[in-house]
Structure 1
Amino acid sequence: MKLKYLTILTFIFAQLIGCKGLPEYLFLPQSLKFDLTPFLFRVYSPAELATLSNADYNLNESGLITASKLSRYLSNWNNNRPAGVPGNLIVFQVQTSGGSGRYVFFDGKQVFAYPVPNLSELLADVRDDGVLAIDGVVPKGKKISDFFSIYGIDPALDYIVFASDTTSLANLSSATFAYYSLLYWGFPKERLAVLNGSIADLTVANSLFTTPSYTYANSNRAGNIKNLFRDHTVLQLTIGDLIHAVKNGNTNLEEVDPIPAEGFYIIDGRPNASYTGTVNSTASGSKYANCTTKTNSTFVSNTCVATYEGRVKSSVNLVPTDLYDGTTFQFKSFSQLQTYLSNTGYPANKQIYIYGEDATKGSLVWFVVHQILGKPTRLYEGGWKQFGALGLRSPTSGSSPSAISQPASYWRTDIATLSESNTPNADANVPNYQLDVSRQFIKSSNKLRTEDKSFLRGTASSGSGGGGGGAPSGGGGNACGG
């Protein structure tokens, strides 16, 4: 490793010998016109990306912030911004249904706010991990770049707050997943926040100054996530990582992360009825309404139920509704959240694997454990929608086959070594999404993270299309220009 950096520095020094008159503000790789991206990236661990909240949420400057903190930021961002934040303040009012009719007051110079009814479309994607296509997972790099371009965000400078517009679980979980998506793509945790409470309720309580009218304004700039040189993709736990861990490393799967030296702890972040397998889990997507007439061959385009109900083996239940107030949708106190986690039997320092029904719903529990309680945590984005889909059944004539048709498939999950409380769902309610045999024996589910790592380190354009807020990546040619 030292030899690699010494080689880079030697090359830089050699290039600088003949270079004169370079502006002092130019970032060195840009002025030399070669791309050091693959060498400069830092890969972060789950512990490094965790945020331990203050017991008094009012004291937080990022992560979970309160109305008093946001009001202070909005009133005078230039003087009240957190230390080390040089850019703009950008607030997203998350509206999954309807709207409050109240808007955060902003100056359109250093502070911007956007009501967004389609945040899940902007910051989530339908993606194939190599085993099974799943919807609602972290978006591709191009989509993140487009997001920065649309809203004039420079990820190297700006501070972002996701706030529920009105009080609802859909808005809150959409906000936590948006936070997760940006953190996954390298946005520093010190410049990301979720507002505790909704714009509507906080306005009524006179805790937040808002206005009934909205005028669009944009900074007309955008930066490139690649130029942060940060790799946070470890936040995503693949199904291969999960299976490999549950089987104590006794698999022939490839591109899986090693089991943490400190051990792991699996948390099921679904309601207790889902954890115990007593209610049906909705399958992924919304295209179809009747499983008995389905002929599609992909898991992503139906509204039926998973192949079976149950839970991942050795998982414990952290019920999401325990973590927030059911009326205000504000998170419970720090001490209460600590107690709920402790009551699951969590042994200190183990790495935590969290899953929900899907990525968005799982992100709420992930946010509590990782970004409030500060525990080293990874999110299995596929959730039960993916895990519970990969069961084996022998359908009767005319009924839908399951995703898995080969008993020895590497990805079959309805076996005692991988799941508990297994209850098959009725054939007529399970969609037809049988996997090709080749997929049932593919050895890696790491396709998404491989794509994302390549995007971050690649020399191609991010696809941002935005203005010059971020530093451009270097090209080839003469390192001194010309």
Structure 2
Amino acid sequence: MNKSTRLFNYRQPGRFFGTLLLAAAALLTGGCGGGEDTTTGYVSSPGFEPVAIKVNSASEITQISAANYDNNVNGLITGATLQNWIDDWQNNRPAGITGRLIILQINNGPAGTQYITPKPDQGVLTYSIISDTGPNSRLVMSRSNGVTTTRAMVLDGASMDRFLREYGINPRQDMIVFAMGTGGAFANMQMGRGWYLFRYWGVEATHLAVLNGGASNAAVMNQTYLSDTVNCDENVDAGCLPNSGWISVKNLPDDNTILQATLEDVMDVVDGRTNAFIWDARSANEYAAIQNVKQDGSGNNTTYLGIDFRNGGSKQGHPLGAVNLSFQNLLITSDGSFRYKDKTTIQAYLDGQQVDGAEFLYYDAGAVIPVGPGNAYQSGQTIITYCETTYRAMITGIASAVILGLPVRFYDGAMVEWNTLASIQDQNSQFILPADSPWRTDTVARSVFTYNTQTAIAPRQIDDPYAVHANKIILADKAYKRGETPAGGGSGGGGVLLPPNPCGG
């Protein structure tokens, strides 16, 4: 069997279930694998006394949804709640909110009803933001973790401050709602990226919400609340942005950087140094490394077609010990609304039950097998969720952290990063990593994987194959919040040159 098509399967069921069923304590509050800045520090706002920074654990960041989503006033809200706010914001706004209602649309609705109609004179503002993965994205940028540069990572502090400034957002007073004009899987993922971004940088849960479903769907909102009126659609003309913000993430006392699980954090789990429930939000075939694998008459994998590796990766597969349930199972798609399923159904999945023909799977001896009732998430565990670029994983993350109230961390580098780190030659005959790099993931001790064919492997930007740690982003962001010089940043777009990924990662 040719090396480029060989399917590695070294799963040991006993070891897997020993890891899976062990109830895990939440990962360390610093949570970045060592070398991190765990000092508290202070933040201040003009006219206020300095406030000590609170470094939160994953458990402290979660919020529990009401069983009836209509009863939520932050987190996952319904169209009925948003309409009630729009009707009379000054009198109907949630307790503790003293500012405006700022609606940030991820995409637009049909012509004539593109936007949720603002009422500027009553403090209700609507904007349509640039939410793609390009260089002007308001949600993501390319950044280096110290080992490699990866696309579609959380914004750095300066970029987040620019977002707040240009949109005139005061996260200490305003209610910020991310919304879809038109429901869709990718748009829902983008809303999740917005929630993750704002929570990561310290915006309180009580000031942040995502709309459950696309606004242009009658099951979500009364269509009379939609029109072609908007405060600013920067996709058309960024010149209409207010550019009046004065609050910085340096003024927000919550340090929620634990939300991001680094490459090093995932390796700590895979290598057995810590424990977590690792949730792969992709398809079962991507998870099992058998996308488009041809089979002979006996059902044996024989030849990999080499055409479906996302982003020109060196391999496909998953970190050892991860389990799989596709994000699609958490959404209502039949009516085009792309709302989340009810809380009871989502909990049933986490309990290992089969719902609507789907359930958590684990990999064993070349097959994906149901984990079974009681053998999925265990009480006390921290969830680390990922997909290709942690877009699909935003659905699983919102379901877990915002609906069920479970401690969640996002492996932001995801499989585009994990599947980069191999000692294999790319299409230019350059080895991506040296054979002795400690960051290799193409080992049977760390991954179940299939190598890509060399001609299909895109070059990668490796910054330091022998870096001591892979938490440069976390350290930089902690430093920025504390007013120190960041140790590392990023760049809008750019970074690793990868083909477009219309599926959202």
Mark yes or no: TM-score above 0.5.
yes
In structure 2, what is the equivalent of residue 475 of structure 1?
A: none
In structure 1, what is the equivalent of residue 55 of structure 2?
A: 43
Among 257, 260, 264, the residue aligned to 1:233: 257
Tell me by how many angstroms 1:119 deviates. 5.7
Among 430, 434, 445, the residue aligned to 1:405: 434
Give the match's secondary structure for 1:147: helix
Measured in 2, the distance between the counterparts of 1:340 and 1:94 equals 28
In structure 2, what is the equivalent of residue 154 of structure 1?
A: 170
Tell me by how many angstroms 1:197 deviates. 1.0
In structure 2, what is the equivalent of residue 469 of structure 1?
A: none
In structure 1, what is the equivalent of residue 379 of structure 2?
A: 348
Tell me by how many angstroms 1:271 deviates. 1.5
- 8 Å CA contact 2:109–2:115 kept in 1: the answer is no
- 8 Å CA contact 2:113–2:226 kept in 1: the answer is no
In the alignment, is residue 431 of structure 1 matched against residue 462 of structure 2?
Answer: no
Give the match's secondary structure for 2:217: helix
Measured in 2, the distance between the counterparts of 1:195 and 1:340 equals 22
The equivalences for 1:82-161 within 5 A come to 82-95=94-107, 101-109=113-121, 110-118=123-131, 120=133, 121-161=137-177
Residue identity matched to 2:195: Y
Structure 2: which 5+ residue stretches go unaligned?
1-40, 233-239, 294-305, 353-359, 361-375, 487-505
Among 397, 401, 416, the residue aligned to 1:370: 401
Residue identity matched to 1:312: P
The equivalences for 1:266-415 within 5 A come to 266-279=278-291, 304-326=311-333, 327-343=336-352, 344=360, 345-393=376-424, 399-406=428-435, 408-415=436-443
Give the match's secondary structure for 2:127: strand
Change (3 A) 1:163 1:393: same
The structure whose residues are more often strand, as a share, is 2
Tell me by how many angstroms 1:202 deviates. 3.6
Q: TM-score normalized by structure 1? A: 0.76
Residue identity matched to 2:266: L
Give the match's secondary structure for 1:364: helix
In structure 2, what is the equivalent of residue 12 of structure 1?
A: none
- 8 Å CA contact 1:123–1:139 kept in 2: the answer is yes
Change (3 A) 1:433 1:72: same
Among 50, 55, 61, the residue aligned to 2:73: 61
In structure 2, what is the equivalent of residue 223 of structure 1?
A: 247
Tell me by how many angstroms 1:93 deviates. 1.3
Number of residue pairs the alignment of both structures matches:
393
The structure whose residues are more often helix, as a share, is 1
- Kindly provide the CA deviation profile for residues 294-323 of structure 1, in whole angstroms up to 9, marking residues without a partner as x: xxxxxxxx9842111111111111211101
Measured in 2, the distance between the counterparts of 1:271 and 1:247 equals 24
Measured in 1, the distance between the counterparts of 2:130 and 2:57 equals 33
Change (3 A) 1:276 1:303: closer
Q: TM-score normalized by structure 2? A: 0.73
In structure 2, what is the equivalent of residue 298 of structure 1?
A: none
- 8 Å CA contact 1:67–1:202 kept in 2: the answer is no
Residue identity matched to 1:403: I
- 8 Å CA contact 1:197–1:330 kept in 2: the answer is yes
In the alignment, is residue 199 of structure 1 matched against residue 215 of structure 2?
Answer: yes
In the alignment, is residue 417 of structure 1 matched against residue 445 of structure 2?
Answer: yes
In structure 2, what is the equivalent of residue 288 of structure 1?
A: none
- 8 Å CA contact 1:393–1:404 kept in 2: the answer is yes
Measured in 2, the distance between the counterparts of 1:332 and 1:455 equals 38
Measured in 2, the distance between the counterparts of 1:453 and 1:432 equals 30
Measured in 2, the distance between the counterparts of 1:207 and 1:459 equals 48
- 8 Å CA contact 1:62–1:190 kept in 2: the answer is yes
Give the match's secondary structure for 2:120: coil
Residue identity matched to 2:331: Y
Tell me by how many angstroms 1:339 deviates. 1.1
Tell me by how many angstroms 1:325 deviates. 1.4
Change (3 A) 1:393 1:459: closer
In structure 1, what is the equivalent of residue 189 of structure 2?
A: 173
Tell me by how many angstroms 1:169 deviates. 1.4
Measured in 2, the distance between the counterparts of 1:97 and 1:188 equals 29
Give the match's secondary structure for 1:201: coil
Structure 1: which 5+ residue stretches go unaligned?
1-7, 9-24, 30-36, 250-258, 282-290, 293-301, 462-482
Change (3 A) 1:119 1:74: farther
- Structure 1 runs of 4+ aligned residues shifted over 4 Å read 96-100, 215-219
Instruction: Report the structure number with the largest CA radius of gyration.
Output: 1
